Amino acid sequence: MKIYRKEGQCAERPHLNLPPETYEEELGLEGFFGLVSHLYHRHPPTSWSGIRKAGFQWPQIENADREFLKPECYDPIHDESSSGNFFESGRLMFHNDDVSIWTHQITEAESVYFRNADASEVYFCHQGSGRFESIFGSFEIRPGDYLVVPKGVTYRWQSEDLYILRVESFHSPFRKPETGILGQQALYHEEGIETPKFHQPAKDEISSRIWTQSERVLTEIQYDFDIRSISGWMGTLYPYKLSVKNIAPVMSSIAHLPPSINSTFLANGFVICTFLPRPLEEPHGALKVPFYHSNIDYDEVIFYHEGNFFSRDNMKKGCMTLHPRGIHHGPHPKALSMQHQMKRTDEIAVMIDTEKPLKVSRFARTLEQRDYWKSWMPKS
């Protein structure tokens, strides 16, 4: 998303008349031909006091083989072992060369900063609340908030009760879908985008540690000053927040629209969609539930956030489903039989569709509800 912003004390223009006693950093994507921002540090960003391999490393990726092709359902939110600070609570669920999908159940505030040099990230807050602190400023995060973090941004999570979904994009930043004849205000307007609250730290910390991820390896960089001590920033590359309350679903009173109409963020190799409450189609005989389909070109992950999940029976909040390409899926029989009694949906869910097949981690397999695929079978 390219919306120029400016906060705090900045140069007259990039590289010209810097604020006194500041050091300019150019943070950019795509070889600096893409989005770019300039930050004005009070200390040189190369003034580290130490560099070493971090004491924590992400768990090694171990994939689990699929027994056979089937719809799959997972219940990660009730796994009691997946808690701690941001790093300790990270659990990889699904991944391919373009995307990784994680869950984090944060129960401890984290003093160490994180910088992802591998991927841009999207967070979705499922429950709890927390504070996102970065060198650009901070956000308060609540359920239903998306948070987009470009590759290379330095940040940390401050919370003791926060459950979030994290999506890594390895080959592109996230961008808003083209809305064509619907107009540029469709889906969500720029007024619904919130940028970080820029301020100087109330009490500067005397040192900072950053765990930087590159090639999945975490390296620790140490500084003898507060890394947040900048005078300002300006540009088009920065973290931003979008609440589901500021997303307007595209609707048709006549015919059920395809799921892609609910696209929220695009990235190379996958798309993130948001399903929101909306009126259902009006004509008698109109199909109100998602039509049956076989994902020949895409694997589909859905994270169920809030409400009554109209097309799924007995789906709990926080569950995730994976529907791989090559096998049909669609509404459960109960939803199909009751569709004409419904006037509107009240569900909120996040869908991630990927061009390449997704691999399932061994950890995720331990949380699989193994009989989920049988829920479509006729009752005997």
1 vs 184, residue with greater confidence = 184
Q: Is pLDDT at 143 greater than 50 in this prediction?
A: yes
- Which tens digits make up the pLDDT trace of 97-121? 999 999 999 999 999 999 999 999 9
Worst-scoring range by mean pLDDT, 125-129, 155-159, 203-207, 218-222?
203-207
The one-letter code for the residue type at 162 is L
Mean pLDDT, the chain, rounded, equals 87
- The whole-model pTM stands at 0.90
Average pLDDT on 321-326 reads 88
Give the per-residue pLDDT at 257.
67
Percent of the chain scored above 70 by pLDDT? Answer: 86
Give the per-residue pLDDT at 288.
47
376 vs 287, residue with greater confidence = 376
Handedness of CA 162, 169, 320, 333 (dihedral sign): positive
Dihedrals φ, ψ of 53, to 5°? -65, 135
- Domains of the chain by start residue, with CATH: 5-62+81-244 (2.60.120.10), 249-376 (2.60.120.10)
284 vs 30, residue with greater confidence = 30
Average pLDDT on 311-329 reads 80
**CA 267 to CA 223: how far, in whole Å?**
33
Q: Is pLDDT at 24 greater than 70 in this prediction?
A: yes
- Which tens digits make up the pLDDT trace of 262-274? 899 999 999 999 9
Span between the terminal Cα atoms of the chain, in Å: 52
Percent of the chain scored above 90 by pLDDT? Answer: 56
**CA 207 to CA 50: how far, in whole Å?**
11
Average pLDDT on 275-288 reads 63
Hey, how many other C-beta atoms are within 10 angstroms of the C-beta on 185?
Answer: 12
